[in-house]
Amino acid sequence: MNIILLGPPGAGKGTQAAYLVDGRGMVQLSTGDMLRAAVAAGTPVGLQAKAIMAAGELVSDAIVTGILSERLDQDDVRRGFILDGYPRTPAQAAALEALLAEKGMHLDYVIVLAVDEEALVDRISGRFSCAKCGAGYHDRYKLPVRAGVCDVCGSTEFKRRPDDNAETVRTRLAEYRAKTAPILPFYEAKGLVRTVDGMAPIEDVKREIAAILDS
Ligand code: ADP
Ligand code: ADP
Ligand code: ZN
């Protein structure tokens, strides 16, 4: 099963993808994570992407599609993948069609996490993650079971993303509205879209997505 998780920054895509990785052995393909890894490693892609990401704007379609294409050539994606943060523009949606056709793959669902914009700044400003394993948390909505200790790996070091600040979030939301939301009709016309209430508690969203995938 191959799916896209679609929704604005802070909608819960990464959180839900992690459950699908744990529960179903699917592979999470987060272009944001891939770009952050490139920035951290100082690769040519990372050098080009760094300032754009810090400003909350979108990295070029060519760069992002390039890294996704390479990732889709790795064998593990045959277990089923979750696209998290891609496609983000109509051009990326078209590029994805071509990539999937070329690689003999298809999409089963586009799961849209519907959320109120007012909630997103709050979600993103409270977001943090484990510095060692990347597990995601929130200051109020998803704290580690033992304060200061990662549930997954036991690390006591956490980090916050430099682009998770109120001003940058506004730009990221504007980018979503202008460039990403317009790809929805394309997938609706294909009958792939399933909309989930992303304002519900994390466990409820998880259950709703499971019901779709098991239907
Ligand atoms: P995205 O990958 O879509 O940008 P995340 O999964 O990183 O979003 O979620 C953003 C923040 O909101 C995280 O801190 C996460 O713990 C929290 N979060 C995710 N889903 C929910 C939810 N349904 N209710 C409350 N908080 C949530
Ligand atoms: P979020 O879901 O919280 O917005 P991501 O981790 O998906 O965050 O993306 C972080 C940043 O990485 C984006 O603001 C953008 O600069 C860049 N990025 C990630 N995926 C893409 C993509 N598919 N196209 C263009 N830019 C991307
Ligand atoms: Zn951890």
Ligand 2 atom nearest residue 89's Cα: 24
Q: Is the pLDDT of residue 166 over 90?
A: no
Residue nearest to atom 23 of ligand 2 (CA): 86
Question: From ligand 1's centre to the CA of 136, what distance in Å?
Answer: 8
Average pLDDT in the 142-148 region?
Answer: 97
Full-model pTM: 0.96
Pairwise CA distance, residues 113 & 6, whole Å: 6
Question: From ligand 2's centre to the CA of 34, what distance in Å?
Answer: 10
Question: From ligand 1's centre to the CA of 98, what distance in Å?
Answer: 31
Return the bridge partners of 6, or none: 112
Neighbours of ion ligand 3 (CB under 5 A): 130, 132-133, 135, 150, 152-153, 155
DSSP string covering 88-129: -SHHHHHHHHHHHHHHT----EEEEEE--HHHHHHHHHTEEE
Question: From ligand 3's centre to the CA of 149, what distance in Å?
Answer: 8
Report the pLDDT value the prediction gives residue 107, as an integer from 0 to 100. Answer: 98
Ligand 2 atom nearest residue 30's Cα: 7
Q: Is the pLDDT of residue 116 over 90?
A: yes
Residues having CB within 6 Å of any atom of ligand 1: 7, 9-15, 123, 126-127, 136-138, 141-142, 198, 200-202, 205
Whether the CB-CB separation of 27 and 81 falls below 8 Å is answered with: yes
Tell me the HSE value of 153 on the side-chain side, using a 13 A CA sphere. 12
Please identify every residue annotated as catalytic: 13, 88, 127, 161, 172
Q: In this prediction, what percent of the chain has a pLDDT beyond 70?
A: 100
Mean of pLDDT over the chain:
97
Instruction: Give the model confidence (pLDDT) of 54-92 as tens digits.
Output: 999 999 999 999 999 999 999 999 999 999 999 999 999
Ligand 2 atom nearest residue 175's Cα: 14
